[in-house]
Amino acid sequence: MKLIRFGESGKEKPGIELTEGVRLDVSAFGEDYEEHFFASNGVSRLENWLEENKKSCPEISEDVRLGPPIGRPSKIVCVGLNYAKHAEESGMAVPSEPVIFFKATSSIIGPNDPVMLPKGSEKSDWEVELAVVIEKKASYVSKEEAMDYVAGYMLHNDVSERAFQLERLGQWVKGKSCDTFAPIGPYLVTKSEITDPHNLDLWLNLNGEQLQHSNTSDFIFDIPHVISYLSQFMTLLPGDVISTGTPSGVGLGFDPPKYLKAGDVMELGIEGLGSSRQEVIPFQKNAS
């Protein structure tokens, strides 16, 4: 099942996208895709509800905005340097254990919303990533049971301001959390729809030129490893997002480096998880 949220920013309603691409409004189900939904077996409950109610669900026009597929989660946890070639292009050693950082949930936007350069941006960059959504509370989970805690998967562009991330004192989070720096979606694909999340092609084009193209089979640390690892240090809550890292081809890795400028267009996708498109716009004070 593909879960979508649609409508005006901040007022999104829940929906689904059918196999043939038709989108249905499931507001009558009475729940948004937030922590309570996932914690209370919401995916299965929605599937059962649709068996009796799908025919009465209104269709959603194709021109209606898609929002983030989930409501604001308690946290976005990201894995850095999880592809060997990306670590190499970043000038960093392949890590011996997962490199972890946070991304502010206030950075989340819809899949096709514009990405706004932050004030003082010099080196904003792109990163196509597979995002994993947690279904139930996870603490001290083993690798063997880790996949039982997965609700599904999403496409994520982990936009990053490298000057903030790497040239300022402190942790990477400063370069990761600017407003609009987390486009997710177009949908959350439930795990039953994805046969093998460790064998998915992913790609990113900038202004029509393909700069990233890889496969999740190249992970240094796979999804069970990451979930188990994170759960030793923090409790993962239903609806939490884990972004699993980006392959090589980011702007930082070019010689000379390439960075985003107003007017650029990023297009990205992951096999089975759809595609998204973000136009880059200049900083706008008081932009929502």
CB atoms within 10 A of CB 209: 8
**What pTM was estimated for this model as a whole?**
0.96
**Is residue 287 scored above 70 in pLDDT?**
no
**Is residue 286 scored above 80 in pLDDT?**
no
Cβ burial, residue 61 (10 Å; 0-12/13-18/19+): exposed
3-state helix, strand, coil in the chain (%, to 5): 20, 30, 50
Work out the pLDDT band at 288, boundaries 50, 70, 90.
low
**Is residue 139 scored above 60 in pLDDT?**
yes
Domains of the chain, by residue range, sit at: 2-56, 76-281
**Is residue 71 scored above 80 in pLDDT?**
yes
Any idea which of 31-40, 85-94, 157-166, 178-187 has the lowest mean pLDDT?
85-94
Work out the pLDDT band at 28, boundaries 50, 70, 90.
very high
Mean pLDDT (whole number) for 108-133:
97
Work out the pLDDT band at 134, boundaries 50, 70, 90.
very high
Mean pLDDT (whole number) for 95-109:
96
**Is residue 148 scored above 70 in pLDDT?**
yes
Instruction: Report the distance separating Cα 187 and Cα 282, nearest Å.
Output: 27
pLDDT at 168: 87
pLDDT at 170: 84
Work out the pLDDT band at 7, boundaries 50, 70, 90.
very high
pLDDT at 201: 98
Work out the pLDDT band at 90, boundaries 50, 70, 90.
confident
Exposure string of 135-156, with b = 16+ CB inside 10 Å and e = fewer, is: bbbbeebeeeebeebbbbbbbb
pLDDT at 85: 83
Mean per-residue pLDDT of the chain: 96
pLDDT at 285: 82
Question: Percent of the chain beyond pLDDT 70?
Answer: 99
> In one letter, which amino acid is 55?
K
Mean pLDDT (whole number) for 164-171:
88
Mean pLDDT (whole number) for 260-281:
98
Work out the pLDDT band at 171, boundaries 50, 70, 90.
confident
Question: What's the Cα-to-Cα distance from 146 to each of 33, 37, 95, 209, 273, rounded to whole Å?
Answer: 21, 20, 21, 37, 21
76-281: CATH topology: Fumarylacetoacetate hydrolase; domain 2 (3.90.850)
pLDDT at 86: 85
